[in-house]
Structure 1
Amino acid sequence: MKAPPTPRAPHPPPPAPGDVAPGHALDWLVAGWRIFMKAPVVWALQALVFFVVIAALGMLPFLGWAAAPMVLPLLIAGMLSGARALDRGDALLVGQLFDGLRQHAGRLLLVGLFHLLGLLLAALAAAAIGGSAVLTGTAASAVGGLAGAGIAAGGMMLGVAVFTVLWALLMMALWFAPALVMLHDVAPLDAMTLSARACFHNLLAFIVLAALLYVLVWVAMIPAGLGMLVLIPVIAGALYAAWKETFSPLLPAPTDDTRADAPTATDEPPKP
């Protein structure tokens, strides 16, 4: 007679995110730059492979529009795995970009699926608002042309605003989700919910980060887009640094193999 299987111990629930000062957004980018400079050539190669994979998926017939958003969390998780390796003093390999595929493929693909569904819902909501405004404006134009045009234009602007708000909420849910799944084994929906909570809890810090990234993306695009080979790894390092600070209670306790005084990518120099 077979013995009953040993029940698997439940994973401890992740704690609420901590408080982050708005100025720390710049510190995260600085930490991301430091992580990039530990292995710049390998990071640039990872970023190149990242772009090739996303571009190739985007060119797939019929499914290209859906494949890229679903695979994006997998690749982000792989870059976070590389950032963690460097933070621990290990070497960075190009193949670590696919660590998410090897370790948590199912959960990360679910995050990607929820990302895709969120994009579709945001687009449908915006299209419904804009389309109804155009129909109303067309009907009103039979009575007063200027009034109908104003209704149509206002409705289209409202549709764009609704899409922007929903997209921002989706990005909040996606921001920490790959890190929580890859680095702490959190379930997909829980990871996205906790990510959104963390962003809302520290909204000002993430608004500052979004503004900095907006400027950096435009700067990186100037030299024929080649700057993105640097910016993408820097963002991955900044995301890793933000995860460490925001979810520090999730980090495992130091072991005998880890020296307490070992410097990490986000350590600050001692104050005199």
Structure 2
Amino acid sequence: MTSTDLVVQDPAFRRVPAAYGLRWWADGWRSFMQAPLPWLGLAVALLVLLWLLGELPMGGLLSQWLSLPLLAFGVIFAALLRTRMTRAREITPAGVPLEPENEGALSSATQRWTRRIGPLLLASLLVLALGGVIGAVIVMGLGAVFGLGLASFGAFAKVMTPGMGMAAGMGALAGSFMTLMLLVLLALYLFSVAFWFVNTLVALAGVSPWNAVKLSARAGFANIAPITLFTVLLLPISIVAMLPFGIGLLVLFPVLSGASYASYHDVFGDGAAS
């Protein structure tokens, strides 16, 4: 066997319709309902771990670094549940309720996740570094534009009468802040699209961290329509999940894990998992 035989070919991606953003939510819910108790246990463990990390020095940065590998565990578990559901469907006669065998799925997910923990940690570090650098450039650019706006506002206020200058100045200042916030939110959204498939590509397909970042950006922007629809629905769903003392997060985490796997499955296909 030559060294070229050991090279893993990165999976190809496809574009899917915008309506798939709704289907990913539905698939995530079905994944949760297939094994609710293990999912709830995973969600509790994740939230407790992130809370403990937050109490450490630089815990915020540490929890951000570990969040992607921890969420990847949920994606691996969702992939195994879907595989077992598919097998159960193949061997179950028509009209008979499906009863997939989920025993041992959690331990199998742990084994697969452990094998990929190193690349996942590196991929998460790359995402944080790239996000930080690009974010800094954006903030500096916005700061320059915003500073120019303040200077213009100051010059404008000087030539106005006191009453009119105050009113116009406050309006201009509010408008500048609103524009700044919208641009920051847009930047965060574009980051989300670019890094959408990073953890799934590393965890499920064994793609190297740097290649996963590049491939995720191409596949994410090629499928920006369904990702946008999914993200638009995420905001109100997250608010609802937070209302009962955050208890809804115990369900939201499993649903997001199942939805993340569903998006990966639809865009990269069955052959991408390893």
Which secondary structure state, in structure 2, belongs to the residue aligned with residue 9 of structure 1?
helix
Give the aligned residue type for 1:85.
L
In structure 2, C-alpha distance between the alignment counterparts of 1:173 and 1:225, rounded to whole Å: 28
Q: Is contact 2:195–2:220 with CA below 8 Å preserved after alignment?
A: no
1:225 aligned to 2:267?
no
1:40 aligned to 2:40?
no
In structure 2, C-alpha distance between the alignment counterparts of 1:251 and 1:221, rounded to whole Å: 34
Which secondary structure state, in structure 1, belongs to the residue aligned with residue 3 of structure 2?
coil
2:18: which partner in 1? Answer: 22
Higher helix share: 2
1:108: which partner in 2? Answer: 120
- Deviation of 1:193 after TM superposition, in Å, equals 2.0
1:264: which partner in 2? Answer: none
Q: Is contact 2:11–2:272 with CA below 8 Å preserved after alignment?
A: no
In structure 2, C-alpha distance between the alignment counterparts of 1:173 and 1:148, rounded to whole Å: 37
In structure 2, C-alpha distance between the alignment counterparts of 1:128 and 1:167, rounded to whole Å: 15
TM-score normalised to structure 1 length: 0.78
In structure 2, C-alpha distance between the alignment counterparts of 1:249 and 1:11, rounded to whole Å: 20
- Deviation of 1:31 after TM superposition, in Å, equals 1.4
1:203 aligned to 2:224?
yes
Give the aligned residue type for 1:84.
A
In structure 1, C-alpha distance between the alignment counterparts of 2:172 and 2:134, rounded to whole Å: 21
2:68: which partner in 1? Answer: 73
Q: Is contact 2:194–2:216 with CA below 8 Å preserved after alignment?
A: yes
2:81: which partner in 1? Answer: 86
Query: Please, which runs of 5 or more residues in structure 2 have no aligned partner?
Result: 85-101, 158-164
Q: Is contact 1:44–1:230 with CA below 8 Å preserved after alignment?
A: yes
Which secondary structure state, in structure 1, belongs to the residue aligned with residue 28 of structure 2?
helix
- Assess, with a 3 A threshold, how the Cα gap between structure 1 residues 157 and 81 changes in structure 2: closer, same or farther: same
Q: Is contact 1:78–1:98 with CA below 8 Å preserved after alignment?
A: no
- Assess, with a 3 A threshold, how the Cα gap between structure 1 residues 208 and 26 changes in structure 2: closer, same or farther: same
Q: How does 1:1-272 map to 2 (within 5 A)?
A: 7=3, 9-61=5-57, 63-89=58-84, 90-91=102-103, 92-93=105-106, 96=109, 99-100=112-113, 102-132=114-144, 135-136=147-148, 139=151, 143-145=155-157, 146=165, 153-248=174-269, 250-251=271-272
In structure 1, C-alpha distance between the alignment counterparts of 2:111 and 2:242, rounded to whole Å: 25
Give the aligned residue type for 2:119.
R
Which structure's relative contact order is higher, taking Cα pairs within 8 Å and 6+ residues apart? 2
- Assess, with a 3 A threshold, how the Cα gap between structure 1 residues 250 and 112 changes in structure 2: closer, same or farther: same
In structure 1, C-alpha distance between the alignment counterparts of 2:126 and 2:187, rounded to whole Å: 13
In structure 1, C-alpha distance between the alignment counterparts of 2:270 and 2:27, rounded to whole Å: 20
- Deviation of 1:173 after TM superposition, in Å, equals 2.5
In structure 1, C-alpha distance between the alignment counterparts of 2:110 and 2:174, rounded to whole Å: 44
Give the aligned residue type for 2:137.
A
TM-score normalised to structure 2 length: 0.78
Q: Is contact 1:70–1:111 with CA below 8 Å preserved after alignment?
A: no
Give the aligned residue type for 2:73.
G
Give the aligned residue type for 1:65.
G
In structure 2, C-alpha distance between the alignment counterparts of 1:142 and 1:128, rounded to whole Å: 21
Q: Is contact 1:111–1:188 with CA below 8 Å preserved after alignment?
A: yes
- Identical-residue share of aligned pairs (%): 31
- Deviation of 1:214 after TM superposition, in Å, equals 1.7
Q: Is contact 1:172–1:196 with CA below 8 Å preserved after alignment?
A: yes
- Assess, with a 3 A threshold, how the Cα gap between structure 1 residues 135 and 35 changes in structure 2: closer, same or farther: closer
Q: Over aligned residue pairs, what C-alpha RMSD do you find? A: 2.9
Deviations 1:129-175 (A, max 9, x none): 45445654665566443477666555544433332232222212322
